[in-house]
Amino acid sequence: MPVTEFGKKLTATPTPIPGLVVWDLPVHGDTRGWFKENWQREKMTAAGLPDFGPVQNNISFNDAAGTTRGIHAEPWDKWVSVATGRIFGAWVDLREGPTFGTVFTTELDPSKAIFVPRGVGNSYQTLEPDTAYTYLVNDHWSPTAEYTFLNLADETAAIDWPIPLDTVEISPKDLAHPRLADVTPMAPRKTLVLGANGQLGRALHALWGDQPHIEYATRTDLDLTRPDLPTARRWRDYDTIVNAAAHTAVDTAETPHGRTDAWAVNVTAVAALARIATAHGITLVHISSDYVYDGTSDRPYTETDPVNPLGVYGQTKAAGDAIVTTVPRHYILRTSWVIGDGHNFVRTMASLAQRGINPRVVDDQTGRLTFTPTLAAAITHLLTTRPAVGIYHTTSGGPAMTWFDVARTIFELSGADPSRVMPTSTRDYDARETRQIAPRPPHAILGCEKLAATGFTADPIPASQWLALSNSDRP
Catalytic residues, by residue number, are 72, 135
Beta pairing partners, 113: 23, 81
* Contact between 335 and 319 (Cβ < 8 Å): no
Query: Dihedral, CA atoms, 218, 223, 225, 230, nearest 10 degrees?
Result: -110
Tell me 214's DSSP state: E
Residue 346 and residue 465: Cα distance in Å, rounded?
11
Alpha helix stretches (DSSP H) within 325-386: 345-354, 372-385
The verdict on whether omega for the bond into residue 71 sits within 30 degrees of 0, i.e. cis, is yes
Query: Dihedral, CA atoms, 63, 64, 68, 73, nearest 10 degrees?
Result: 20
* Contact between 405 and 235 (Cβ < 8 Å): no
Pairing of strands 33-36, 360-362: unpaired
CA 51 vs. chain centroid, Å, equals 15
Sequence-distant (6+) residues with CB within 8 A of 38 are: 25, 81, 83, 113, 134
> Counting beta carbons within 10 angstroms of the beta carbon of residue 346, is it exposed (0 to 12), middle (13 to 18) or buried (19 or more)?
buried
> Counting beta carbons within 10 angstroms of the beta carbon of residue 268, is it exposed (0 to 12), middle (13 to 18) or buried (19 or more)?
middle
CB-CB neighbours of 352 under 10 Å: 20
Measured in Å, how far apart are the chain's first and last C-alpha atoms? Answer: 63
Residue 21 and residue 94: Cα distance in Å, rounded?
16
- Under DSSP, is residue 379 helix (H, G, I), strand (E, B) or coil? helix
Q: What is the DSSP string of 121-179?
A: EEEEEESSSSEEEEEEESS---TTS--EE--TT-TTT----SS-GGGS---HHHHTPPP
Is the C-alpha dihedral spanning 198, 262, 395, 349 positive or negative? positive
* Contact between 153 and 165 (Cβ < 8 Å): yes
